């Protein structure tokens, strides 16, 4: 293709800039000490589940709303993938997930470590800069369990039923969160519907999973259960949300004095909720008036409220940057068919849901609060990806990232402070559960597949896609629901965006700089379909 790289379309409905008034903190104001970071990553929480983002939403979310009042809402924020594991890779490395060897789907609870050896992460970077670092929650990025003699587990997919007992759980775990920069870890290895059903503390299980177990997938829905496998007798899936919250509160309390004395903390809190199993505690059952999913979201909101109250009580709220978001769109496990008739749509106005290449799969809630530096109650239309946290953290503490790290991370600090500096994001690449790509620039979004790439219709592998164009082009300024495919009317836009994606793959980065693509990326380049739908020859 012989096309030119065009500039960002100024008329984009969903991308704009927001500036905090200069009076928020003057040029002569004393620069506050390095802040604490609290990154809260919910699991499968939909954009439309927050009242501050969806005025028609039916789930009361007072604490999410409080964050919005006191912080900045980003209305055009996205996860790099529409499913769990790849998004988490992007958050911690500042790289698009498809630059790793995981090209589709997710890992299992027994899968080996995904993050490459010696790969810099947000945790290792902040730790080197003097922060105490902790991860409390769902990991889902693999760790090296001790396998029984001659046994095996799937490397890049969920373990099969005949593999779940192939691990010697009594032995230390290698290459877990501690190996990528976290001083402390407590949580579960993967999604809460995956084995093993036990907590892990640093490099060992907190309780030996020595019995077979499973859990109801959704409160009130009999007959559907999580995967069966190793479970510690004391482990109850319904307690995980309050347990993780309590552990996070304890950690913050333990670090409070050091934080006030000049050693800030970075707490990465990846919740396992409201992902399945959807099991709200008895005190929350029936509260939403919708279904168990609505109740679970309310309980999750309350847990965030407890964290905010802890920061208040300890005098840490002012200089703690709280980032609140979700790893992808809401899952159909929330039972949309029950929620929609009651007026609640977790996907809001966006097409699709978790797993999809459509915006419902990857447009996520994103709120940032940092009272010491940022005036609250504002909204930004600036395009943001969860990979951007790493560059932002570096910007906040005033430390430079090496050229070999965070290749797809743009700082959004200038958006928060109103001080224009450095490169800004005007393009984002999306990825679905089956490995389909999309690229967005300005108002144009190009989906490089004929269907959803995920779980909504038209579904790859289940629905007949033979009569559909090989790619989809949408003008989001006029069609936020991605309903009118303009690929035939706008061939130049299709060619330009395809070429831009190829460039990002081939160059190994989307931020300014130089890096040679690795073997995985070279293969990706060959697999990206041309506008005709045909793949390039090897």
Name, in order, each residue with C-beta under 8 angstroms of 133's C-beta and a sequence gap of 6 or more.
123, 126, 127, 181, 182, 183, 184, 265, 266, 268
* Selection from 51, 167, 191 nearest residue 109 by Cα: 191
What is the per-residue pLDDT for 20? 33
What is the per-residue pLDDT for 367? 98
Helix (H, G, I), strand (E, B) or coil at 369: strand
Task: Please spell the DSSP secondary structure of 222-235, one letter per residue.
Answer: TT-BPPPEEE-TT-
What is the per-residue pLDDT for 13? 29
Q: Please tell me the distance from the alpha carbon of residue 499 to that of residue 396, in angstroms, as a whole number.
A: 33
What is the per-residue pLDDT for 29? 44
In tens, the pLDDT along 143-157 reads 999 999 989 999 999
What is the per-residue pLDDT for 519? 77
Helix (H, G, I), strand (E, B) or coil at 291: coil
* Selection from 473, 453, 475, 479 nearest residue 465 by Cα: 453
Q: Which residues of 151-172 are buried (b: 16+ CB within 10 A; e: fewer)?
A: eebeebebbeeebbbbbebeee
Residues of the chain with pLDDT under 50: 1-29, 537-538
Name, in order, each residue with C-beta under 8 angstroms of 261's C-beta and a sequence gap of 6 or more.
none
* Selection from 470, 436, 430, 432 nearest residue 450 by Cα: 470
DSSP summary character for residue 382: -
Torsional sign, CA 118, 121, 125, 130: negative
What is the per-residue pLDDT for 128? 97
What is the per-residue pLDDT for 12? 30
What is the per-residue pLDDT for 14? 32
What is the per-residue pLDDT for 17? 32
């Amino acid at each position: 293709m012989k096309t030119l790289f065009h500039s960002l379309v100024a008329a984009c409905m969903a991308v704009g800039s927001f500036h905090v008034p200069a009076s928020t903190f003057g040029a002569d104001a004393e620069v506050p000490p390095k802040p604490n970071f609290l990154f809260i990553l919910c699991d499968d929480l939909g954009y439309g589940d927050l009242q501050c983002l969806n005025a028609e939403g039916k789930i009361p979310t007072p604490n999410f709303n409080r964050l919005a009042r006191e912080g900045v809402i980003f209305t055009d924020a996205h996860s790099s993938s529409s499913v769990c594991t790849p998004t988490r890779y992007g958050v911690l490395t500042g790289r698009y997930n498809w630059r790793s060897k995981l090209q589709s789907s997710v890992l299992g609870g027994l899968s080996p470590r995904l993050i490459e050896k010696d790969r810099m992460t947000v945790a290792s970077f902040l730790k080197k800069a003097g922060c105490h670092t902790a991860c409390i929650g769902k990991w889902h990025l693999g760790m090296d369990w001790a396998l029984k003699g001659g046994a095996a587990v799937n490397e890049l997919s969920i373990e099969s039923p005949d593999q779940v007992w192939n691990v010697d759980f009594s032995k230390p775990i290698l290459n877990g969160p501690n190996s990528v920069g976290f001083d402390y870890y407590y949580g579960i290895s993967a999604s809460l519907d995956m084995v093993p059903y036990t907590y892990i503390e640093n490099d060992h299980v907190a309780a030996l999973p020595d019995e077979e177990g499973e859990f109801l997938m959704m409160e009130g829905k009999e007959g559907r259960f999580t995967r069966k496998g190793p479970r510690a007798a004391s482990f109850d899936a319904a307690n995980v949300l309050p347990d993780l919250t309590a552990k996070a509160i304890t950690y913050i309390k333990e670090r409070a004095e050091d934080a006030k004395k000049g050693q800030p903390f970075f707490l990465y809190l990846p919740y396992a909720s409201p992902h399945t199993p959807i099991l709200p505690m008895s005190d929350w059952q029936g509260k939403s008036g919708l279904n168990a999913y609505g109740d679970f979201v309310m309980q999750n909101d309350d847990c965030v409220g407890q964290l905010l109250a802890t920061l208040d009580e300890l005098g840490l709220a002012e200089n703690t940057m709280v980032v609140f978001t979700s790893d992808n769109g809401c899952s159909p496990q929330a039972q949309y068919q029950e929620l929609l008739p009651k007026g609640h749509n977790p996907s809001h106005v966006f097409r699709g849901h978790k797993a999809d290449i459509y915006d419902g799969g990857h447009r996520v809630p994103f709120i940032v609060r940092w009272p010491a530096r940022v005036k609250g109650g504002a909204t930004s239309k600036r395009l943001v990806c969860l990979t951007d946290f790493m560059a932002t953290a570096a910007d906040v503490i005033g430390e430079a990232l090496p050229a070999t790290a965070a290749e797809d991370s743009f700082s959004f600090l200038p958006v928060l402070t109103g001080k224009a500096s450095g490169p800004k994001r005007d393009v984002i690449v999306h990825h679905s559960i089956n490995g389909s790509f999309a690229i967005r620039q300005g108002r144009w979004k190009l989906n490089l597949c004929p269907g959803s790439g995920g779980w909504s219709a038209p579904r790859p592998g289940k629905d007949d896609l033979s009569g559909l164009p090989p790619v989809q082009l949408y003008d989001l300024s006029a069609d936020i629901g991605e309903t009118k495919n303009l690929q035939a009317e706008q061939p130049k836009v299709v060619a330009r965006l395809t070429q831009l994606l190829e460039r990002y793959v081939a160059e190994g980065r989307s931020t300014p700089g130089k890096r040679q693509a690795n073997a995985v990326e070279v293969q990706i380049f060959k697999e990206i379909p041309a506008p005709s739908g045909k793949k390039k020859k090897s």
